[in-house]
Structure formats: structure tokens, C-alpha cells
Structure 1
Amino acid sequence: MENHYTRSRLKLGRVAEMSIENPNIEFPWQFHFPPFFTLQPHAETRAKQIAAWRSLVLEWYGATRQSKVDVREAGRGPPFANATINRRFPEEGITAVMEELARTGHAERLDKQGYTWAVHCGRTIDEWADCLLSWARDNGMSGTVCTLYELTHGDDTVSCDFHGLDEETLVRSVLRLQQRGNAEFMDFDDNRGVKFF
């Protein structure tokens, strides 16, 4: 049964070519167009370019479950570089994409300089929190303590979007549930978990 917390594929008008680095990602046509890797000077064109990068980055980090981006290093590989056409997006462009993701709640700056960012694996923290809470309620887990490991690596969550989620994003999502009064974050005996309400 397909639920809102189970995996679903994004259909973003992608071409059929798949990434060698991650077979679950289809790059947009722009990825093979050299000007895509140059920050456009015209405001309207730049807005469209950043929107395309935003979609690609959300899909990439959602599928790969990577969460940290260092803008000084990110241009060395996918999704910010395309070795086939010998192009990479500049730091200024990567920063603009991260700022747009932060504006929509999909990323957070981790340092004052703006070099290091946390990308929330394709969703906002609120969306991940809702996903966790829906799963807990649908599976009768209210009042139950689950370890973070069980949530991200357990057999009961294999079909869930949060299975394999990085711990930092998971903790932020659980803390958001705690703020809402839907869960309690627990830290015990070298392990961390959550009690759902």
C-alpha cells in the first residue's frame, strides 16, 4: 500500500539518461548544457536557473541521502559538476542555490561564513517530522520508544522515505515533533531515540 510516507519517484520532466554515480537520479536536460554551469547575469534567467538547480539538488540529496554541502568543495562532483562537458557550477552559484533552499526550509547554514550547509534530503524538517509522525500513528507506535537506528535502518521502515535518512536530519525532525508536543527525544546509554505521542 502506497502511503504519503513511502517512497515515490519525482517526475520532473527528466531525460532518460541516468547518473553513473547514482542510478536513481536522472539529470535534467540543462545538466548537459554548458551555460547551466555559469551563473546567469540577467535576473529573470538567473531565477529560472536557480529554480532548476534547486530541483536537481533536492532530488540528488533526497536520493543519495547526503546532507552536508561545503560550497568550497561541492563543485568537484555531482550534482554541481559534469565531467562529460568539463563544467562545474561556481561557489557563488552554489551559495545562491543553498540560500534559495534555506529560504524554502530545505537547507540550513551550519557556519557563519556560509560555507557549510545541511540539506534536508529533499524535504523540509517539518515535512520529515510529519512523515515520522504519520508512520508512528499508522503503525500503532504512539507511546512506544524507537531508537533512531530502528527508524533509519530497521526492517519495519524499509519502505519509508525516512529509512536511510542521515542522523542529523532525523534528530532535527524529532526535535521539531518534540516542540509540537508529538514526541519526546531521548538520549540514553550511548543511544538515542524517540517516544511518539
Structure 2
Amino acid sequence: MTSSLRSLSGGGGGFTWPWQYYFPPFFTVQVNSDTRAKQLEAWCRLVLDYHRAHKSYVLDISEAQSSQLFSNQDINRRLPPEGIDLVLKTLESRGNVEWQNSEKSRCLVMWRSPREWGELIYKWAQASGHGNSVCTLYELHSGEDTTEEEFCGIELWVLQRSIQALAREGKAELIPGDSADGSDAGVKFFS
């Protein structure tokens, strides 16, 4: 089945499982270091692509093993907890996972780094004539001008970190707001 791809059933929004997802050894941590490295690379890509397709940013470890992501019912295989842990440690080392608590029971999954999101947002700002002007985070998140952009609907914490990354590069300035969630904060983009 190396050349076939299968779509996620039941509301997956066009997500396509990679061929490895239907290959039983994919769900067993490989002993050979070269094979394990390739396996981990495929798992990392799968986790990021899955969360991207679902616009999901949080992974609950207690639910992970039974989730469709780590358990393929079609071939009756599931990645064991130590395999999930290895994948998440690899993603953490790459900056794609950040733990929400010291128990490491929930993590934030970032299929793009805040810097990468910031670059997308900055390109949009420049192309749409928002250079040297101010937008609210709400406008970036939910505004009419951004409905076709990949960052539309992005989690507010990711958006804030993205603007902070732009600020560190001198491309934007985050202007604090008054609301508890920060959605009324502003951002000034520099040309």
C-alpha cells in the first residue's frame, strides 16, 4: 500500500493519511537507529499535518493513545505510550511542542513556529497595505480582510507570540489592550 493515500473519514476536511499510517510496523518503535530516525520523522510530520488540518493546537496525553491520530482501527494498531512520548520529545526538541504543565499531561502543538506565523502575517500586512498602520489582534484573527488567510482563526496565544517574534525583528510593535483575553491589543506593522 506504499502508493495509496486514504482520506480521513468523518469530517476530516480533506486530511489524507500518509501510507505509513497503514503499515503495521509504523506503530512499533523500531530498534535500528536509522529506521527509527525515519519513523520519527514520519510521525512528527503526521502529528503536525494532522493538527494543521484540524486547526488543533492542544494534545491531551491521556487521550492520545486512543485518538485516531495514534490508533489505526483499520489495521488494529496503536502507537504505545513510549512511542508517543518519543514523538513528542522529538517535536519538543524542534520547537513544535510546548508543555502546558509540569506533569506533561497536555501540550501545545505548533505546526508552524511563531516566527513562521509572523512572517505569513507580515507578508499579508505588506501586501494588503497595512504597513505603517495599526490593526487589532481581533482584526487579524477574525476580520473580513483575513478570511482567506491561513492565519484566520488562529489561537490568540499563537497570534500574540507571532507578533512578538515580528517585534523582535523590528517588523512590528505589539500595543497592549484592555481586554482580559488581549484580543483588543493592537499591532503596528513597519514597512
TM over 0.5: yes
How far does the alpha carbon of each residue in 1:76-100 deviate from its partner, in whole angstroms, 9 at most, with x for none? 2132222222322222222222222
Q: Match of 1:39, SS?
A: coil
Q: Could you tell me which residue of structure 2 aligns to residue 144 of structure 1?
A: 133
5+ unaligned residues in a row in structure 1: which ranges? 1-12
5+ unaligned residues in a row in structure 2: which ranges? none
Separation in 2 of the partners of 1:127 and 1:138? 17
Q: Could you tell me which residue of structure 2 aligns to residue 3 of structure 1?
A: none
Q: Match of 2:139, SS?
A: helix
User: Are 1:99 and 2:89 an aligned pair?
Assistant: yes
Q: Could you tell me which residue of structure 2 aligns to residue 23 of structure 1?
A: 13
1:57 pairs with 47, 71, 77, which one? 47
State the percentage of identical aligned residues.
Answer: 38
Separation in 1 of the partners of 2:24 and 2:40? 15
How far 1:33 sits from its partner (Å)?
Answer: 1.9
2:118 pairs with 129, 154, 162, which one? 129
Separation in 2 of the partners of 1:135 and 1:67? 22
How far 1:185 sits from its partner (Å)?
Answer: 2.1
Separation in 1 of the partners of 2:122 and 2:85? 32
Separation in 2 of the partners of 1:14 and 1:170? 37
Separation in 2 of the partners of 1:46 and 1:103? 16
How far does the alpha carbon of each residue in 1:119-156 deviate from its partner, in whole angstroms, 9 at most, with x for none? 11x21221111111111111111232222222122221
The letter for the 2-side match of 1:170 is: L
Q: Match of 1:194, SS?
A: strand
Separation in 1 of the partners of 2:72 and 2:58? 19
Alpha-carbon contact 1:128-1:162 (below 8 Å) kept: yes
Separation in 1 of the partners of 2:135 and 2:38? 42
Work out which structure has the larger RCO, using CA pairs closer than 8 Å and 6 or more positions apart in sequence: 1
Separation in 2 of the partners of 1:14 and 1:125? 34
User: Are 1:114 and 2:104 an aligned pair?
Assistant: yes
Alpha-carbon contact 1:142-1:196 (below 8 Å) kept: yes
| CA RMSD, 1 decimal | 2.0
